[in-house]
Amino acid sequence: MDDTYTAAPRPKVAVTEVGTRDGFQSEPTFIPTATKAAIVDALIAAGVRSLEATSFVSPRAVPQLADAHEMLAVLQRRADAHIAALVPNARGAERALGAGVDEMVCFVSASETHNAKNLNATIEQSLGHVAEVAAVASGHPVAIRGAVACAFGCPFEGEVPVDAVLRIVDAYARLGVDRLSLGDTTGMAVPPTVSRAVLAIRERHPGMRIALHFHNTRGVGLANVMVGLDLGVREYESSIGGLGGCPFAPGATGNVCTEDLVYLLEESGFDTGIDLDALIGVAKRVEQVIGRTLPGQVMKAGPRLRRYEADAVRRAVG
């Protein structure tokens, strides 16, 4: 009788890094192109295999990402690293195709007011732009992901009904888009709103791949991740060091932190394929580039089983 014990494989969870796009876009001081590329390369070396690396929006609207094509051109591209870029319209899609991205991310807000602020268009007009992007991508080996901004609340309109989210998801589905990201643009998501949105989408579009993109504005980003895990969601978007925040939404602060997310997932029995120690090293490097303390916690405390020499810590006396 063979008594050899074989541990069951851990369920895999995909983590998409958005720091060099969602994180850097709000930084007022231009970050050199080579520095951006070096950070993406370091993230890939740490095991990150999905990155929303930059954005092909108007350079006037987001000057920090005006070097999108140049940055992608100097990356150390590898076949197993999936590089995505945000594209708002057909012109952006053409530029992204020229840069050789693996995936184009389109985005529409579930809030009419936020959509006007973020995209200078109505929701209907933005959905028309997504159709144009799909037409540009047709016939090319590039995936399209549809993102829904303000999926869990809007800083201008308050509660966002699930029907408003479904309106966008339905339009994506009609265009053949089967990859979806639900964006918590200003950190308004709480466990009940996450459950309602995910379950409603699953009921109407059971084949849709859902990723969750939380901000930690009110400190419940990882609690929302746990809800997503319980619902079977296995894709999450996060930002190195906790960088980020929509420049067109008041009160928006950083994304859920990548190294904090990876720590939670790995300690909860999931497999991300990412080296946490290496990721912490990248976070510290980004902190130096940005020039201020970042909100990530694990980059400060280290892994749970980190050990210290007892003699190096002073003894309480008194």
Residues serving a catalytic function are 246
CA dihedral over 52, 107, 253, 292, signed as positive or negative: positive
Contacts (Cβ under 8 Å, ≥6 apart) of 89? 129, 132, 133
DSSP state, residue 20: I
Angle between helices 276-290 and 33-45 (to 10 degrees): 170
Contacts of 191 by beta carbon, 8 Å cutoff, 6+ apart: 220, 223, 224, 227
**Cα–Cα distance, 290 to 196 (Å, whole number):** 37
Q: Are 203 and 165 in contact (CB under 8 A)?
A: no
CB distance 270 to 244 below 8 Å: no
Cα–Cα distance measured from residue 270 to residue 268, given in angstroms and rounded to the nearest whole number: 6
C-alpha distances in angstroms, 60 versus 56, 63, 67, 90, 115?
11, 6, 12, 17, 18
Q: How far is CA 103 from the centre of its chain?
A: 13
